Structure 1
């Protein structure tokens, strides 16, 4: 999958209302959805940390401070450098929220809760899990998960990205073509 297609797929997932702009509320809601899906409370230190990481990421994404990020802005910003400096703490924090037994890995139930809360198609989650279960022991390690997400947003080969977004790409990208 090329870099622009990968970015479009992620942007479409972030733009939950499909209006062609990711708002601060849409972006911030990710931590709230994962917290709810995992039964965590607002005062949980992991929820607080995930929110703070999300705030820092939003500030970097919305560089012009207008309260919204268009696909063009997102595409110019997203990539390996943004992942390494801004996104990894956010996605690591969301992973930690989903890791309810705090063993540093996600089982299928935890992974499903995470990816469903983030807006991935439910039908693709088991294939993505299998692609990331490198040891075949029913667990996805944090480092493997983050490396796969980094590869996806950088336009590199990502087993998880390919599996999560194996639905018809034209269907996934259709909302962007309307704007």
Structure 2
């Protein structure tokens, strides 16, 4: 998902392109403060992942970096900022269309976003609340146990490249 060109490494440009794709998909201008904040948050994550600071994150660097601590220190902010871009009315929730737009633009098009939405709509109100979204991703990425697991497959997102 993060290695856009499939060459086995994540470049800074690939990583930051998620911000631009989500902003474009929801019609946010690249200079909007929410987009700028997201870009800055993603840059911090990339710099932390890139252990040898060569501008490329290998699978081994990612494997060494990923986990609960990294999620709480860095990813919560970055992923929350993507949510904020998609939350164009700033109500702290995404409806089904907004969620599908976010997940597709962020690079999750090959997953069942409809099932993921249904799993994350904890109270059945037709909305995904920001905290439920971030908790679902954290639990899935770090433990593989999450409401999203049925939609995205079992096991944490720490897999070797194929």
What range is the shorter-chain TM-score in? over 0.9
TM-score (norm 1): 0.84
1:79 aligns with 2:67: yes
Alignment of structure 1 residues 53-132 onto 2, 5 Å: 53-121=41-109, 124-132=112-120
1: CA distance between counterparts of 2:64 and 2:149?
20
Extract unaligned runs of 5+ from structure 1: 1-12
Extract unaligned runs of 5+ from structure 2: none
Deviation at 1:161, TM superposition (A): 4.1
| C-alpha RMSD over aligned residues | 1.8
Deviations 1:49-95 (A, max 9, x none): 00010111111011210111111110110010000001111000000
Q: Which residue of 8, 16, 37 corresponds with 1:28?
A: 16
Indicate the structure whose relative CO is greater, using CA pairs within 8 Å and at least 6 residues apart. Answer: 1
How many residue pairs get matched?
Answer: 159
2: CA distance between counterparts of 1:123 and 1:68?
26
What corresponds to 1:39 in structure 2?
27
TM-score (norm 2): 0.92
* Bigger share in helix: 1
Deviations 1:141-169 (A, max 9, x none): 00000001111111241122441x249x9
What corresponds to 1:17 in structure 2?
5
Deviations 1:87-141 (A, max 9, x none): 1110000000011121100000110110001111356000000000011010000
Give yes or no for contact 1:56–1:86 (8 Å, CA) kept in 2: yes
The structure-2 alpha-carbon separation of the partners of 1:93 and 1:156, relative to structure 1 and needing over 3 Å to count, comes to same
